[in-house]
Amino acid sequence: MSLVASLCRAHLRCWGLARLRTLPSRQDRTRYNNTRLSSTLAPHHQATHGIEHVRNIGIVAHVDAGKTTTTEQMLYNCGSLRHAGNVDHGDTVTDFLPMERQRGITIQSAAITFHWPKKEHLKPGDLQHVINLIDTPGHVDFRFEVERCMPILDGAVCVIDGVEGVEAHTERVWSSAQEFKIPRIVFVNKLDRDGASFKKSVQDIGLKLNGMPLVCQIPWWEGDNIKGVVDVITGNVVSWAGTDDSPKQLSVLATEGTIKDELERAREKLVELLCERDDELLELWTAHGKDIPSEAIKKSIRRVINDGEGNLIPVFAGSSLKNIGVVPLLNAVNDYLPSPRDRPEVEVRVGQVHQPFSVVLQESQGSKKHKPPHVEALASVFKVVNDPRRGMLTFVRVYHGVLQRNHNLWNTHLQHFERPMSMMQISAAQTIEIPHLSPGQIGAITGLKAARTGDTLMGFTTNKAPPGPLAIVQVRPPEIPPAVAFILLDAYSPTGAKTLESALDNISREDPSLRWFKDEKTEQYTLSGMGTLHLEVARDRLENHYKAEALWGTIAVDYKESLTVPMPPQRAEFDKTMAGKTGKAACTAVIEPLEQHHRDSLLETSTERDGNIIQVDIPGEDLPFDVEMTRHQLTNGVIAALARGPRRGSPMHQCLVTVTYDATTDYFGPASGAHLVGAANKAVKDALKEAHRQGTIAVLEPVMRTTITCPESSAGAIQHDLHAVRGGHVLDVKDMQDTSAQEGRDIDISDIYAPPDPYEFQTTLRETQKGRLRMLQITAQVPLAEMLDYDNVLRSKSAGRHSLTMALDTFERVVGPREKDL
């Protein structure tokens, strides 16, 4: 369809509706960078910035796409670093853990604050933007770390490798961003590498991320090497190798005839795509034709991506290692990604009901029964990390009010108050103390004894607990995936056991996807996690950071237990003295296998945790106790009971637990939360013991969705091994070079505009490039037990030319000889 026809149709719809340098030593260089970073940020924090000048963004991508290098160059260009760190040299600011520098990967998310643009580049009357940036891990074992950070972001930069294109984990993190409706832009990195293709990358974005690429920049090639980046909207060179990207230096670079023609085609396609979705720009086009002002196009891009649907995907180009394209990427963050004010009001969960926080506040203030204290601030904990000098740092994002250092913080998950000691802005390993955190801001708190990742904090000036629903408000509570692997530990001595337990407590606060428990009979500890690398990193942190000494076993599969038939109701009474308080509570529990049809008839108050669904039924009206608090305590009791099954001590999975708390039979007067937890725990455990006596407890094993990229020559042997030897099922095999339209996709490759690569018209170049292999991508379902050391098997079959990613797909019952072996 021609541009004119397309725009006319839309018109009718409208009217009808830095270069790296080496210092004497790596340690000196890192110390110098961090000192400069701290001194650069400190004075800036005194300046007041409106919320419209704040950007909370995340850098997300597949492992080894260049996220950390991009972050380093951003810090270098904004003046926070004298020299950009290098992942290979192990001196990066955001990857500051020893194991991160040793392995060259990001293990934990790092929050960093800086200002852009530089003061000397500001236009008269403009203010600097405050950018709170989260550098997230790319490895699939740390996906909980990524997904925990997603809800607190207002925008995201997705980095993809210009050689590999969109890879498996990129699609996963893109889906997570899509779930939370986070506006995104894409940066095609590593265009300086051999085999890089901007055109293929753009086509990959359209076909695999299911959105129409909006090419905002074109790489300037000199032969097969990228020399700079040209902006499609303005037609100006915006980045060039060997300059500091200042407007004065870039203005002397003139574009030549060939790229001018390509820029015209790119701008025409960009305007066409925008006019189809933005009526304001369409009206301008009818008035001005091609000569639409550049500023109007930028505002249009901001409008069309602000809904977070990902229908249009702005694409930028460059090479972070050579500092090409990073400055215009920073400008794009300011120009296109939203401020906290532009995002919808935060939705909170009260029980199972999701609603805006303002509605919860109005309902609580209108309560005749209880007059709650005034809520000064609402914040979400998205990260907890143990700092060697300051102890536990609790990273928070403020959604409502101003979080002051002297506030009493009510933890809605743990149901008690904590008092912060200090508040600070974070610059990876460096910190700058501040008096408060404003709405939309990100920072860290010290002094909280129990807060963990995923908790919700409310600030009050009094220490009076909020009544009713206000007490259990949660901001996007984390969905913690079930563990798939575990490792056994033995303490060397009773003293060592205390140190080990303290370290395990701390590390599970930092990362709730790590769980641990102690077997009281054997006095062994079990640490469970999301995969082999996840547990290896946990072990390294326990040994080197927490100095916990233990005898370690080998990593093994974390099997689950499940019911095969429903169990009859089990009533339990709990009548013990707890923490010096007497009391009595009772309840009735029914446990049955969780099936798909159950989800259609669940109570609104049901809770899903670790693959189980818990619902608490409290009949009656005008009850003499707090219903929501009682429901919360009973749920906690069920969760604790399901943590260990009766057959192997493995966690229960795929169970539906219904707890009934009837005031006429189960309420014996005021009782503490511990008594309610104990009653629910006892009822569920008794039901599970009865199921085990009847032989109705099955063992489930994790089955992974495995993606393997390998040369065509070794693909046949790998498929045979997966199917015949490992007991897996090959689901799909596709050619990585195949760019044909895929079934079920809304985007057709013929509709995607992408500028030609420098070798586009040399038809035989791709076939004759040395070392160029035809790569296939194999997708399969395989039991994790068969895949723990599969990377070494692949290395021998593919001569090291492979990549392997795994994510939990489902749990399946173990039967036959394999069940007997267990």
Is the model's pTM score more than 0.85? no
Q: What is the fold of 485-549?
A: Alpha-Beta Plaits (3.30.70)
The band of 370, judged by pLDDT with boundaries at 50, 70 and 90, is low
Closest CA to 519 of 494, 539, 489: 489
Does residue 722 or residue 176 have the better pLDDT?
722
pLDDT-wise least confident of 109-123, 228-242, 314-328, 741-755: 741-755
pLDDT-wise least confident of 48-52, 403-407, 504-508, 684-688: 48-52
Residue type, 553: G
- Give, in degrees to the nearest 5, the angle at Cα 177 between 171 and 182: 140
565-695: CATH number: 3.30.230.10
Amino acid 287: pLDDT: 86
Amino acid 25: pLDDT: 40
Per-residue pLDDT of 659-697, as tens digits, reads 999 999 999 998 888 999 999 999 999 999 999 999 999
Amino acid 251: pLDDT: 64
Chain CA centroid to CA 130, Å: 21
Does residue 818 or residue 205 have the better pLDDT?
205
Amino acid 766: pLDDT: 39
Q: Is the pLDDT of residue 288 over 60?
A: yes
Within 8 A by CB and 6+ apart from 27, the residues are: none
Q: Read off the pLDDT of each residue in 505-515 and give the average, rounded to a whole number.
A: 90
Q: Is the pLDDT of residue 741 over 80?
A: no
Per-residue pLDDT of 412-467, as tens digits, reads 988 899 999 999 887 655 678 899 999 999 988 999 999 998 899 999 988 888 88
Does residue 580 or residue 630 have the better pLDDT?
630
In the chain, which residues fall in CATH 3.30.70.870?
485-549
Phi, psi angles (nearest 5°) of residue 477:
-60, 145
Amino acid 75: pLDDT: 86
In the chain, which residues fall in CATH 3.30.230.10?
565-695
Per-residue pLDDT of 528-549, as tens digits, reads 998 888 898 899 889 988 999 9
Chain CA centroid to CA 357, Å: 23
Give the number of other Cβ atoms within 10 Å of residue 277's Cβ: 18
In the chain, which residues fall in CATH 3.30.70.240?
699-756+769-821
Q: Read off the pLDDT of each residue in 503-530 and give the average, rounded to a whole number.
A: 90
Q: Is 41 helix (H, G, I), strand (E, B) or coil?
A: helix
In the chain, which residues fall in CATH 2.40.30.10?
347-468
DSSP state of 142: G
Amino acid 765: pLDDT: 40
Closest CA to 422 of 380, 387, 463: 387
Q: Tokens 């120009």 — which residue? A: 335
Percentage of residues of the chain with pLDDT beyond 90: 46
List Cβ<8 Å contacts ≥24 apart for 233-238: 233/267, 233/270, 233/294, 233/297, 233/298, 234/294, 235/260, 235/263, 235/267, 238/325, 238/327, 238/328, 238/331
Chain CA centroid to CA 2, Å: 40
The band of 143, judged by pLDDT with boundaries at 50, 70 and 90, is low
DSSP 362-407: HHHHT-SS--PPP--EEEEEEEEEEETTTEEEEEEEEEEE-EETT-
Q: How far apart are CA 594 and CA 562, in angstroms?
A: 9
In the chain, which residues fall in CATH 3.40.50.300?
3-342
Amino acid 43: pLDDT: 38
Q: Is the separation of the CB atoms in 88 and 25 below 8 Å?
A: no
Q: Is the pLDDT of residue 373 over 60?
A: yes
Amino acid 15: pLDDT: 37
Within 8 A by CB and 6+ apart from 727, the residues are: 782, 783, 786
Amino acid 819: pLDDT: 78
Closest CA to 758 of 200, 186, 86, 313: 200
Amino acid 224: pLDDT: 79
Does residue 98 or residue 217 have the better pLDDT?
217
Q: Is the pLDDT of residue 777 over 70?
A: yes
Q: Is the pLDDT of residue 2 over 80?
A: no
Q: Read off the pLDDT of each residue in 383-406 and give the average, rounded to a whole number.
A: 88
Under CATH, which architecture does the 347-468 domain have?
Beta Barrel (2.40)
CA distance between the termini of the chain: 62
Q: How far apart are CA 755 and CA 757, in angstroms?
A: 7
Q: How far apart are CA 677 and CA 783, in angstroms?
A: 35
Q: How far apart are CA 689 and CA 647, in angstroms?
A: 9
Does residue 722 or residue 749 have the better pLDDT?
722
Amino acid 36: pLDDT: 39
Does residue 610 or residue 253 have the better pLDDT?
610
Q: How far apart are CA 55 and CA 340, in angstroms?
A: 7
Q: What is the torsional sign of CA 470, 471, 472, 475? A: positive
DSSP state of 816: T
Q: Read off the pLDDT of each residue in 608-634 and give the average, rounded to a whole number.
A: 89
Strand-pairing partners, residue 184, are 156
Mean pLDDT of the chain: 83
Q: How far apart are CA 348 and CA 354, in angstroms?
A: 6
Per-residue pLDDT of 26-59, as tens digits, reads 344 333 333 333 334 443 443 345 889 999 998 8
699-756+769-821: CATH number: 3.30.70.240
Does residue 21 or residue 406 have the better pLDDT?
406
Phi, psi angles (nearest 5°) of residue 485:
-145, 155
Closest CA to 717 of 607, 796, 636: 796
Q: Is the pLDDT of residue 768 over 50?
A: no
Q: What is the torsional sign of CA 751, 752, 755, 756? A: negative
Closest CA to 165 of 821, 737, 674, 726: 737
Q: Read off the pLDDT of each residue in 238-253 and give the average, rounded to a whole number.
A: 74
Closest CA to 316 of 203, 198, 206, 226: 198
Q: Read off the pLDDT of each residue in 624-648 and give the average, rounded to a whole number.
A: 92
Amino acid 654: pLDDT: 92
Chain CA centroid to CA 210, Å: 20
pLDDT-wise least confident of 259-263, 502-506, 559-563, 713-717: 259-263
Q: Read off the pLDDT of each residue in 588-598 and give the average, rounded to a whole number.
A: 91
Q: What is the fold of 3-342?
A: Rossmann fold (3.40.50)
Residue 250 in tokens: 């870039």
Percentage of residues of the chain with pLDDT beyond 70: 83
